[in-house]
Structure 1
Amino acid sequence: MKEDLYQLEKSLGDILPKKRYLHSLGVMTTAFSMALVHDADYEKALIAGLLHDCAKYMTGEEMLTECITNGVPVKQVEMLKPDLLHAKLGAFYAKSVYNIEDEEILSAITWHTTGRPDMTLLEKIIFVADYMEPNRTSSVIPNLDNIRKLSFENLDKAVYQILGDTIAYLMESGKLIDETTADTYDFYKRKLCKE
């Protein structure tokens, strides 16, 4: 596993821009810490955290072309905003380029941007780790300190806060909101209301 992780790190370091590579390392280490706290599989968290943005070195148009060429499903909102495709394409590359067969890891990569209703533990860890890894700053991301605290106490609350802040930002900016993000927000709102 250590050799595999080293090879994955080296491969990503060769293709990702430096800032994106450092972000990926930050997500990997954050996911590892969260996995230990939440009793998740830390090896899967390391790999999913490292590879979550493995397709994010291309332009949106290149991602769209790659998805169409390789039969990766593309939704209408992704046609309009193809940068969203990096998660699905990343899962495809994790399998086809980096030989990751584990469905839990692939699913965590697939859903790390939009989330999805009723996420698995690993999916929640990667979703939250991507948002709050150490290279993120509270001057840019509202409620970041609170989310970092919540991420080690109550993952569902952290997911809900991230989704709420993301939707508010997208609405204020006049940007498209992926329906999966809205559905996920509604799911966790209902879930937390029942607690």
Structure 2
Amino acid sequence: MVCEQDLISEGQRMLSKSRWEHSLRTADYAVFMADHYGLPHETVRLAALAHDLAREKPADIIVKWALLDQNTLSEYHLAHPVLLHGFASAWYLREHFALTDDSLLNAVRYHTTGHPDLDASGLIVFAADYMEPGRTHLTDLTRKNLLILSLEELVLAILDAMKLHLVSKGLDLSPDSRELSHRLKKRYNHGL
């Protein structure tokens, strides 16, 4: 497993001060959420620290790294290239830190949209990125109310809020977000 200090050094080197501060807040919030839900937090902390490593790279580099991670890109991703930085960051971690932990890499890969195959660590990183205290679209009361929910219900609430926001802009959720929502609703409706 990669050393946390190595990721911190890389994040400070690769990201602007404000983007790096967001990553630190996301990591702290991910650990808080992991503790809240009774889950281990080493993977979520590392994934949250690294989730935006490629975010500020030039667009051509992000696309190149995303292709190295995914081999092909969906039409949706090509139409919304800002989402590719998760794939690019996962590739960077695999290539430069020799990381092979699927849980950590998937948490980084899918932190913007979620994905139907995310485990609990990935769901926490997805939620923490959306909920970290520096995000001004949520109040502290909203954060508190979301944390009353199970992790699955919380992620569903985030996906619903994302859908409302995107629809107001004439956009739609990504196919990965829609499938994650479908699977979580199916699990939740079956009492899981």
Does the pair score TM above 0.5?
Answer: yes
Report deviation, 1:46: 1.1
Moved more, 37-46 or 185-194: 185-194
2:179 aligns with: 183
Given the alignment, which residue of 174, 181, 195 partners 2:170? 174
Pair 1:118–1:80, CA change in 2 (3 A): closer
1:82 aligns with: 81
Report deviation, 1:194: 3.3
Gaps of 5+ in 2: none
Q: TM-score, normalised by structure 2?
A: 0.88
Gaps of 5+ in 1: none
Pair 1:91–1:145, CA change in 2 (3 A): farther
Instruction: Write out aligned runs for 1:146-185 (5 A).
Output: 146-151=142-147, 153-185=149-181
Counterpart contact for 1:77–1:176, Cα < 8 Å = no
SS in 1 for 2:97: coil
- Give distance in 2, aligned partners of 1:116 and 1:70: 16
Counterpart contact for 1:24–1:51, Cα < 8 Å = yes
Counterpart contact for 2:69–2:90, Cα < 8 Å = no
- Give distance in 1, aligned partners of 2:148 and 2:46: 20
Percent identical residues: 26
| Aligned positions, number | 191
Counterpart contact for 1:34–1:152, Cα < 8 Å = no
- Give distance in 2, aligned partners of 1:71 and 1:118: 15
Instruction: Write out aligned runs for 1:36-55 (5 A).
Output: 36-55=35-54
Report deviation, 1:149: 3.5
- Give distance in 1, aligned partners of 2:33 and 2:146: 11
Report deviation, 1:39: 2.5
Q: Does 1:30 align with 2:26?
A: no
Pair 1:144–1:114, CA change in 2 (3 A): farther
